[in-house]
Chains A and B, each alone.
Chain A
Amino acid sequence: MEAVAAFFTVFTQPELLVLVAVGTFAGIYVGAIPGLSVTMAVSILISFTFSWDVYPAISLMVGIFMGGVYGGSRTAILLNIPGAPSAIATALDGYPMAQRGEAGQAIGVTTVMSFFGGLIGIAVLAIAAPFVSDFALRFQPRDYMLLAVLGILLVGSLSSGSLVKGIFAGALGIAIGAVGRDPLTFAERFTFDLQIMEGGISFIAVMIGMFGVSEALQQLHNIDKTAVRQKITKIVPSFGTIRKYLPLSLQTSSIGVIIGALPGTGGDIAALMAYDHAKRVTKDPEVPFGQGAMEGLVAPETANNAAVGGAFIPMMTLGIPGDAVTAIMIGALFIHGLNPGPMLMIDQPDMFWFIVGALLTANIFMLIFGLTGIKIFTKIVEMPRAIIIPLILLLSIVGAYAVNNSITDVYWMLGFGVFGYFMRHYGYPLGPVILGVILSRLLDDNWRRAIISEREDLGRFFEGIFTSPLSLVLFSAVILIFVSQTPVWTSMKTRLFGKASS
């Protein structure tokens, strides 16, 4: 009963409802403007909502997250520029449709299907999360440690081509998270005997630097690019169209939820896998894939929005983020004094149900805003980068300063911004860094707990892993990821599938 009340909190408080609406609206446009990413928006916003109560802050961020995942599809269709990584697959068929003058139809179907996918993701979250958290209570410290390692590795290996660079990025993140005085023994770690290092590096400074400043610096490269106008006609799709693609969207939504729920994998991978799936199961599409097939739009868009609900499952129940954006959401929950993990569901179930309610509301607003206001949209997207980029940089500085009122944080932020800029250029993924920073504490604590409970004996530690089915599965997954990157695996795959990479 209380769950129902908590679920409807958003609807009973007009202020929260407005915030979700504002967040979703902002998310759609932030996601749609090339050069602005959801990760950037959420990381900058955390610092601004820092002084707020927890409900309004979460309402706003949930809205931005939901809207942003959808918003990326708009520019993918209209400009062939995915506004967010999860919209990369959308551009493959969306842009050819726009070139044929069917941009309106493409946007309409995308919107409805995103709504549909989002709905399924949220439903699965509501049903599965309580079970997962019950299950998670039985997790040993070593399981948490393995999960954290697995999450960082998955982000490193799936979201980019080079696992080695992913491992480096993840390890760097963990090291950054360890800076300062050790909470257990008070020993100084990586402080270089400097006073200012003792408190550690604010993870918000790292986030804003990596995703805000480095992104903005990157965008300086294409400041002179102008948007191409597309004519947009009829948007709201007919019921028949929707019904036609319903079976496919059910399948791709399931893919989305599952991929999203895996620790370390998010909407971008879900969308690409769903696109592949649609290509395989659609026997004779009206238009070939890659030339504007409707199936090629439906699949990634349902999947990436379904992945939002999925990604919240490990985040809320285990405290392990699904991707960079959920890592930042976890950071936001930390700041507001919440501790995502199995205990959150027991201590504060109303918080969980409130978030589910907020997600659902954001999904509904996404449908409304998606099917209307296309005229304003084209105006906003054409806003010159020469103005947007300085504003982002300004907001990044304000954001980094605001959390601790500290100039040091601003310098850290700028430093990581420039460093992240080079990492981007040389093919090092940034997601694992953030995941590492967020998970550093959890990894460290659980490792020590696990090894102390085994009386500092590595043999007993591994014995524990091999005798517990859960630990064994997690451990095997970690090993599998490593093996999958070695030449042995590639040659095996070549023999099995005939081709090394798809």
Chain B
Amino acid sequence: MQPDYRGDADHHDGTSDATPGGYAAQRRPGELAFAIFLTLASLYLLYEAYGISGFEALSAPGAIPMATTFAMVLSALAVAVRTAGLPLVQNESIRADILPVRVGVFVVLLICFGLLLKPLGFLPTALLFLIVSIKLLARRSWAYTLVVSVGSLIAIWIVFRVVFTVLLPSGIVPEAEFIQILRDLAKGGAS
């Protein structure tokens, strides 16, 4: 049994783990390009690693980086050569199985999240992200989307800002003042 090469089953049954998909004897669309990309990237890294200290000494700071990037080049090359010789999977395409539009959209959404996080602050950015993504995925009414987004954001904010005391960029929302009001209220209630 090969538990890891679940191949097609991997992205249809919802199993979740860190072990990879892929096929043992076939090549998925884009797999060869990825392997070549890794080989070229490894070669560049090897060049960078050589630049650290060259062949100065076995204990030089560049020794392990050179050894590892060399291993990367060799293994990436081996994978690329092997992949090139495999037959292409017939019933898959990049658009449908590797990078569907939905995944692409989410990558863009995540990048926007990162860009807006600092200027706008956590709460507005997260709310926007949740509304857009839940609306896209669940395809339910706006009321449903808004209630779920706001509700889960409040829950997350309470758990992480208050319980875990995680600091998040406050941006345009006067978060600290709000927490202070809450504290005062709690104090007032206690006395």
Interface residues, chain A, with chain B CB atoms under 8 Å away? 34-37, 39, 47-49, 51-52, 80-85, 88-89, 159-162, 164-165, 167-168, 171-172, 174-175, 178, 182, 184-185, 187-190, 192, 210-211, 213, 215, 217-223, 225, 268, 272, 324, 384-387, 389-391, 393-395, 397-398, 401-402, 405, 407, 410-411, 414, 417-418, 421-431, 440, 443-444, 447-448, 451-452, 456, 458, 501-502
Contacts and interface: CB of A to CB of B under 8 A. Distances in A.
B65 A189 contact: yes
A426 B20 contact: yes
| 9 A-B pairs with least C-beta separation | A427-B22, A386-B138, A85-B17, A386-B137, A390-B133, A182-B61, A168-B75, A187-B61, A171-B71
A461 B10 CA distance: 45
**Residue from the set B60, B111, B165, B166 with the largest chain A CB neighbour count within 10 Å:** B166
Contacts of A168: 38, 42, 71-72, 75-76, 79
Contacts of A184: 61
A320 to B, nearest CB: 17
**Residue from the set B4, B34, B63 with the largest chain A CB neighbour count within 10 Å:** B4
A81 B68 CA distance: 37
B20 A423 contact: yes
B24 A175 contact: no
A263 to B, nearest CB: 17
Interface string B41-73: 010010011001100011111111100110110
Contact of B166 (A398, A407, A421): A398
A268 B3 contact: yes
Contact of B4 (A160, A172, A187): A160
A407 B117 CA distance: 8
Given A164-B75, A221-B100, A425 B61 contact: no
Contacts of A422: 30, 34, 98
B116 to A, nearest CB: 11
B164 A175 contact: no
A47 to B, nearest CB: 8
Interface in B151-171: 152, 156, 160, 164-169
Contact of B21 (A51, A164, A424, A448): A424
B134 interface: yes
Contacts, number: 256
Contacts of A35: 14, 16
Nearest to A427: B22
A390 B164 contact: no
A502 to B, nearest CB: 6
B2 to A, nearest CB: 6
Interface residues of B, number: 80
Interface of B: 1-5, 11-24, 28, 30-31, 34-35, 38, 42, 45, 48-49, 52-53, 57-65, 68-69, 71-72, 75-76, 78-79, 82, 98, 100, 102-103, 106-107, 110-111, 113-114, 117-118, 122, 126, 129-130, 133-134, 137-139, 148, 152, 156, 160, 164-169
Nearest to A168: B75
B118 A407 contact: yes
12 contacts: A48-B160, A51-B164, A51-B166, A81-B13, A187-B61, A210-B18, A213-B110, A398-B156, A425-B30, A426-B22, A426-B30, A427-B22
Contacts of B167: 402, 405
B114 A414 contact: yes
A171 B20 contact: no
B35 A426 contact: yes
A394 B68 CA distance: 34
Contacts of B48: 190, 192
Contacts of B68: 171-172, 174-175, 178
Given A425-B28, A429-B18, A447-B63, A387 B134 contact: yes
Given A185-B60, A185-B61, A187-B53, 20 more contacts: A37-B16, A37-B17, A48-B160, A84-B17, A85-B3, A85-B17, A167-B75, A192-B48, A217-B103, A219-B16, A272-B3, A387-B134, A394-B130, A395-B156, A397-B117, A407-B117, A423-B20, A425-B31, A426-B31, A428-B22
Given A161-B24, A421-B103, A444-B64, A451 B58 contact: yes
Contacts of A190: 45, 48-49, 52, 65
B70 to A, nearest CB: 8
A21 B130 CA distance: 30
Nearest to A271: B3
